[in-house]
Amino acid sequence: MAVLSTDTSRMTGNPGLEGTNVRAMSIATTLFFMWGFLTSLNDILIPHLKHIFELNYAQAMLVQFAFFSSYFVFALPAGKIVEKLGYKRAMIVGLLTMTVGALLFLPASKAPSFPFFLGALIVLAAGITVLQVAANPYVANLGPQRTASSRLNLAQAFNSFGTFLAPFFGAWLILSHIPVVVNAPNLTGAALQASRMQEASSVQMPYLGIALALAALALALWLVKLPTNDFTQDLRVGEANMATEDKLSNHPQLFLGALGIFLYVGAEVAIGSFLINYFQLPIIGNLTAAKAASFVSLYWGGAMVGRFIGSAVLRRFSTGVVLGIVAIVAATLVITSMLTFGHVAMWSIIAVGLFNSIMFPSIFTLGIADLGPLTGRGSSLMVAAIVGGAIIPVIQGKIADSSVGVHHAFVLPVLCYIYIAMFGFTRPRLKAVAA
C-alpha cells in the first residue's frame, strides 16, 4: 500500500503489526475502549434498574434488548454513512450520537422512567453502531491482510480494557446507591416516585462525565489527520458502489460468520448481564451487588488478557482452529458452573471471559475474508448480527424466570458456543504466515 506523505509512523519492529499505521491504530483503539466501557456499563444498569422499577429478569434484560437491537436497526444505515462520509467523519458522527445518548440519561433519571432509559440506550447504541461499522474494517485494513485478525484482536483488547474498568466505575458511582436491605416497607404513590428519583439520580454524574469525554474525543478526532486514501482498493470509501458481478450471496462464509457473531455476542452479553444477580445467590457467592460487580470486572478482564495473548497466537496458528478450541473450552466452563456451587461455580463462569476473548475478531475476520469490493456491506451485515446481544439475554431471562432458575439458565450460551466451535473448525485456514 502507498504511504501518505504526511504519515511517518509505520510499525516495522513488531512482525505481527508490520506495515500498520501507528497514529490511526492508536486513535482506533481509543474508540474501541470507549464503546467497550459503555457496553459493559449495561451490566451495572441492569441490577440497578431492576431494583428501582421492580422488574423481573426478562424485563430487566430489555436493557440489553434496547441496546443491541440498535445494531440491527442502524447497521445498514451506518454502512451508508461510512460510504458517504468516509471512515473518519463517520467515526465523528458516531461519537457525537453517543454524546447525545449519554446526555439523555439525565432527563430519564429525573422522570424517572424505564422506557426513557431504554430510549437513551437506543441512541447511545446507534452511535456505537456507526463506530463499529467504520472502525472494525478500518483496523482490519490498516496493514497486511494476513495479520488482520491479529490487529483486530489487539484493538479488541483495548475494548476489553474498557469493559474491565466499567464495572468498578459503576459499582462505585451507581450500585453503591442500592440499599443493602431489600425488604424495606412497600412504598406507593408520591413516596415510591421520590424513592425511585433518588436512586435513579445516581446515573446523572457518571453519564454526564461520559458525554463530556465523548464530545472531547470527537473534537480530538476531528483535529487529528488520519490516512484516508492508502487502503487497498476493496476498502476505499464508496468502493462498494462499483459495478461488479460479485454479490454477497456468493460468499456463504459471510452468513455463517454473521450467525456466529449473533450467537457469540448473545452468549457473552447474556453471561455478563446475569453475573451480578448470579453471584448474589446464596448457593453461589452470597455477595452484595457492589461486591459482585468487582467479580464481573474479572470476567471482562479475562477477555482483555486473552485478546493480548490472542493477538500473538493468531500470528502463528490457524484462526479457525484456535476459534474452535476456545469455544469448546468456554462451553465446558459454563457447564461446570451449572453443575457446581460456591467458588467453583463462580470462578468457572468468570474464566469464560478469557476464552471469549478472541471470538469476535476471529469470527469477524473469517466472515469478511475475500469479500473485495463488498467488504463494507459485509461489515454492515456482521455488525447487524450483534443484535444477538438483544435477543439471547431476553430468552435467557425467560428461562431464569421459569422453574429452571438462574443457575441453569446458562444452558443457552453453551449451545451458542457449540455452533461457534463448529464454525471455526470448518472455516478455511487463514494462517498468518510471513509473506
Residues contacting residue 160 through CB under 8 Å, at least 6 positions apart = 36, 300, 301, 303, 304, 306, 307, 357
Residue 408 lies in a domain: yes
Decide: helix, strand or coil at residue 314: coil
Residue 264 lies in a domain: yes
Q: What is the pLDDT of residue 296?
A: 87
Query: The domain containing residue 210 runs over which residues?
Result: 14-426
Residue 6 lies in a domain: no
- Residues written for the chain: 435
Residues lower than pLDDT 70 in the chain: 1-22, 140, 143-150, 153, 176-200, 226-246, 376, 428-435
Enumerate the H helices of 201-288 as residue ranges: 204-223, 252-280
Q: Is the dihedral of CA 328, 329, 330, 333 positive or negative?
A: positive
Q: What is the pLDDT of residue 238?
A: 43
Residue 229 lies in a domain: yes
Contacts from 84-88 at CB under 8 Å and sequence distance 24+?
A: 84/238, 85/237, 86/228, 86/237, 87/134, 87/135, 87/138, 87/226, 87/228, 87/237, 88/221, 88/226, 88/228
Q: What is the CATH number of the domain that holds 118?
A: 1.20.1250.20
Into how many domains does the chain fold? 1
Q: What is the pLDDT of residue 257?
A: 92
Picking from 354, 152, 386, 136, the residue whose alpha carbon sits closest to that of residue 263 is: 386
Q: What is the pLDDT of residue 264?
A: 96
Q: What is the pLDDT of residue 253?
A: 85
Beta partners for residue 10, in sequence order: 21
Residue 216 lies in a domain: yes
Residue 433 lies in a domain: no
Q: Model-level pTM greater than 0.85?
A: no
Q: What is the pLDDT of residue 397?
A: 92
Q: Give the three cell numbers for residue 96.
A: 457525537
Residue 198 lies in a domain: yes
Residue type present at position 223? L
